[in-house]
Structure 1
Amino acid sequence: MRHKRDRRGRGLGQRGFTLVEVMVVIAILAILAAIAIPVYSQYIKDAKIGRAENSLVLLSTLMERYYQNNNAYPASQTLVANAIPGWNPGNNPNPLFTYAIQNPDPGVCNVAAPTGPSYSLSATPTATSGLPTNEVFYLDSLNDRCEVLPNGTIVAGW
Structure 2
Amino acid sequence: MSQVSSSKTSPTDLELVERVQQAKSSPSEEADRCAHESFQLLFERHHRALLAFVLTRVVNRSIAEELVQSCWLKAWTRLGTHFHGGHFRGWMFELLRNLIIDESRKQRKKTERTVSLQEYDQDFKSSSEDIVQQREDRLEALQDCLAELEEPRGEIVRY
TM-score normalised by the chain length of structure 2: 0.32
Pick the structure with more helix per residue.
Answer: 2
Pick the structure with more strand per residue.
Answer: 1
Q: Which has the larger radius of gyration?
A: 2
Structure with bigger RCO (C-alpha 8 Å, 6+ apart):
2
